[in-house]
Chain A
Amino acid sequence: MNVGLLLLTHNDIGAQLLVVAKSTYGSIPTRTEILSVDHYDQPVDLIGLTKQYVKVLDEGKGVLILTDLFGSTPSNIAREFCNSKNVKIVSGINLSMLLNIFNYPKLSLNALTKKAIDGGKEGIMRIENEKKRTNN
């Protein structure tokens, strides 16, 4: 039994990240669903959908919702679930975050939430010329 994962993002951001993650690992070790939000969607409708997705994904260990831009519609929808005991929410989804989550599918919801944040942050760095950096 693993934590479930809901990618609640603008348009196809979540789907595209998932395609790359799946092609990297070959398979996905957690129940994962995607809820994409576009400018035609009414947030109030999507709150109901998110609630149902949480039911689909929760096997008993809870659900981690990943969303993109903090303060935007997807993250505001996710925020409605802040007080749900079985849900944790992380914004700023990136590929590094997603891959780190799939590296640790057996973790608890709290521990996996930390891995998501760590993985996401670790993926952001300034890329420099290795040779030049060594010389300096």
Chain B
Amino acid sequence: MNLHNFMDKGSILLDYELKSKKSVLELISETMAGITETNADDIFTKLYEREKLGTTAFGNGIAIPHARIDKLINAKIMVLKLKTPVNFESVDNKKVDIIFTLLVPDDESDKHVEVLAKIASLLDNKEMRKKLRQAKNESDIISLLKDD
């Protein structure tokens, strides 16, 4: 499984300046809704509900918001890099600057967790986090994901 296969044109956003976890989730919802032709409010609600159960900011400045979405046809990943890290209620209290979002069709729970595990293992790698932070453009990110 290669993560870049779940990405589309426009699913990598770099150097954004956002103030809060909520504004991050709003930007993700709007962007993903545009890519997947689903409803931004539905995506926001699902992502927000998941965050209410405990943060998806798994430490080291990384967050992986994830949800299953009704009417979504294919699983999608979006990468967002922030210029200034934001508070994401992370497990280690570190602010977050790299956000991988995963949306999966409602009936594909197996794929959901399989792709989530792949993202988590990728981002647990210190060297990979360093390279992602150094990435300057979309193709740098795609190359990193392709090489993995």
- In the bound assembly, the distance between CA atoms of A119 and B54 in angstroms comes to 20
Q: Are B117 and A56 in contact, with the CB atoms below 8 A?
A: yes
Contacts of A29 in B (CB 8 A): 91-92
Structural contact, B91 and A30, CB atoms closer than 8 A:
yes
Q: Is B106 part of the contact surface with A, judged by Cβ < 8 Å?
A: no
Residues on the B chain within 8 Å of A45, using CB:
110
Q: Tell me if A56 and B59 are in contact (CB < 8 A).
A: no
Given A1-B59, A18-B54, residue A52 in contact with residue B117 (CB < 8 A): yes
Cα–Cα distance between A29 and B91 once the two chains are bound (Å)? 4
A70 to chain B, nearest CB (A): 24
Q: Is A129 an interface residue (CB 8 A)?
A: no
Known contacts: A31-B91, A49-B109. The answer to whether A22 contacts B121 by CB under 8 A is: no
Q: In the complex, what distance in Å separates the CA atom of A2 from the CA atom of B52?
A: 20
Looking at B92, B116, B120, B124, the one whose CB has the most chain A CB atoms below 10 A away is: B120
B interface footprint on A1-39 (CB within 8 Å = 1, 0 otherwise): 110000000000001001100100011111110100000
**B30 CB to closest chain A CB, in angstroms?**
26
**Interfacial chain A residues near B15, Cβ < 8 Å:** none
Give, as a whole number of angstroms, the nearest-CB distance from A19 to chain B.
Answer: 6
Contact flag A28-B55 (CB < 8 Å), given A56-B113, A56-B116, A59-B124: yes
Q: What would 28 A/B residue contacts be, using CB atoms closer than 8 Å?
A: A1-B59, A2-B91, A18-B54, A19-B52, A22-B53, A26-B89, A27-B55, A27-B89, A28-B54, A28-B89, A28-B91, A29-B91, A30-B91, A31-B59, A32-B54, A34-B53, A45-B110, A49-B110, A49-B113, A52-B113, A55-B117, A55-B120, A55-B121, A56-B113, A56-B117, A56-B120, A57-B120, A59-B59
